[in-house]
Structures are given as structure tokens and as C-alpha cells.
Amino acid sequence: MSKLSQIKIFSWVYKYILFFIQTSIITMLLWSFVISDNLYYCSDKIPFLHFFPPFVHKPVIGDDIILTGDYFIINEKLVWAMWLFLVSLMFLVPCYLLSRISAKKKAK
């Protein structure tokens, strides 16, 4: 493998990671403000971390405390389908953006 091809691969990976971080933040914000509390309710959510499953927690019974109140507003399978769609976008959008950038460079 030539030095030039190694640099191109490193450059592509570096750009992919940058786009992936941006896409992940946008996806998590979208989940926080659009999906959460509209498709399911979680009483103990933590910003950004409630993007990761499980979305609805089972009741926790402690010594004197019972934490309940988590529930799906719509069908659970639809929430999971929406989550899988957003996760796939997190990985595919950076690839699409990189292909568009490389196509524009080749056109010049």
C-alpha cells in the first residue's frame, strides 16, 4: 500500500469520525426533544444517555421506595423501529456526506 493511499484512508476515516460525532449529537438531540416524552415516558431520564436502551424501566422496589411511572405512549415496537432508524442514520449520513464531497472534488 502506497503512502498516498494510506493518507487518503486516514483522511477519510478522520472525516468520517468528525461527521459521525456531529450526526450523533444531532440524533441524540432529536431523540431528546422530539421522541422522548412523545412516544414514551421515562421518569428518570438523563439527557443524551436516555437515547440508549432500555427506554422504559421496570419498577424498582427498594426499602421504602418504589420507582414506577415509565410507560410507552405508542407501541413499543414502533419506538424500537424509530430508534433503529435513527441509529442507522447516524452511521449512514457521514458516508453519504463523504461521498458527496468526493464527487464534488472529482467534478472539479
DSSP three-state, residue 21? helix
How far, in Å, CA of 12 to CA of 46, rounded?
33
> What is the CA angle 33-96-25, rounded to 5?
25
Tens digits of residue pLDDT in 43-63: 777 777 778 887 777 766 666
Q: How many CA atoms lie within 13 A of 34 on its CB side?
A: 10
Tens digits of residue pLDDT in 76-99: 999 999 999 999 999 999 999 999
Question: What global pTM score does this model have?
Answer: 0.78
The single-letter DSSP state of residue 49 is G
